[in-house]
Chain A
Amino acid sequence: SAVISQKPSRDICQRGTSLTIQCQVDSQVTMMFWYRQQPGQSLTLIATANQGSEATYESGFVIDKFPISRPNLTFSTLTVSNMSPEDSSIYLCSVEVGGTDTQYFGPGTRLTVL
């Protein structure tokens, strides 16, 4: 398994601003993932972030809106840019461990955009 922390745990932001969410893992991992979970909904994958390569974005998500950095094997950031109220959601990072496709999740960042 892996222990994952996220910062901030929650934030309230104004429309048009940007927020960077940090994800820290207690061990080196190859694959990290960023998800969005809107109220009452399941998880929607935003992108996969592998160290040393560009993030791979899912349909409906673009790099200009959700730039991702992955500077090393234990850390990643997701920026939510030019925010609107529709971006209000929980943002979760996860890591894949053991080559079995199982993922371990951070506690999430609860974002509210006014």
Chain B
Amino acid sequence: QKEVEQDPGPLSVPEGAIVSLNCTYSNSAFQYFMWYRQYSRKGPELLMYTYSSGNKEDGRFTAQVDKSSKYISLFIRDSQPSDSATYLCAMSAGNNRKLIWGLGTSLAVNP
């Protein structure tokens, strides 16, 4: 079993839809949770960062962490064609330990 599981998709939605992206993990020591967005032929870009459990909102994006279920989510409201990208989750146990990455979910938002 991988430490982090993420459905690679692809996920295709119409413009304006609410998108839900998810990762599950097995290591209960993980405390830092991140979502990265990667456009084609670009490096990953940090989108959201959450420490421990709870929600964090930034514009159309909401990151949610449920440590009891070992489950994290990224919600995108009013999705736009410019949101079409691969979304990667990453997490770590802190103390400068390395990030553990999901496979990434490919998202296409159709106009």
User: Chain A: residues with CB nearer than 8 A to chain B?
Assistant: 1, 4, 31, 33, 41-43, 45, 48, 58, 92, 94, 96, 99-108, 110
Contact = CB atoms under 8 A, between A and B. Distances in A.
B96 A31 contact: yes
Given A105-B43, A107-B43, 14 more contacts: A42-B101, A42-B103, A43-B101, A45-B98, A48-B98, A96-B96, A100-B51, A101-B97, A102-B49, A103-B46, A107-B42, A108-B41, A108-B42, A108-B43
Among A43, A96, A101, A104, residue most surrounded by chain B Cβ atoms (within 10 Å): A101
B94 interface: yes
Contacts of A100: 32, 49, 51
B88 interface: yes
Contacts of A4: 43
> Considering residues A42, A94, A105, which has the most beta carbons from chain B within 10 angstroms of its beta carbon?
A42
Contacts of A101: 32, 92, 94, 96-97, 99
Contacts of B51: 100
A42 B45 contact: no
A49 B101 CA distance: 19
25 contacts: A4-B43, A33-B98, A42-B88, A43-B44, A45-B98, A58-B98, A92-B44, A94-B43, A99-B96, A100-B32, A100-B49, A100-B51, A101-B92, A101-B94, A101-B96, A101-B97, A101-B99, A102-B32, A102-B34, A102-B46, A103-B46, A105-B44, A106-B43, A107-B43, A110-B41
Contacts of A103: 46, 90, 99
B93 to A, nearest CB: 8
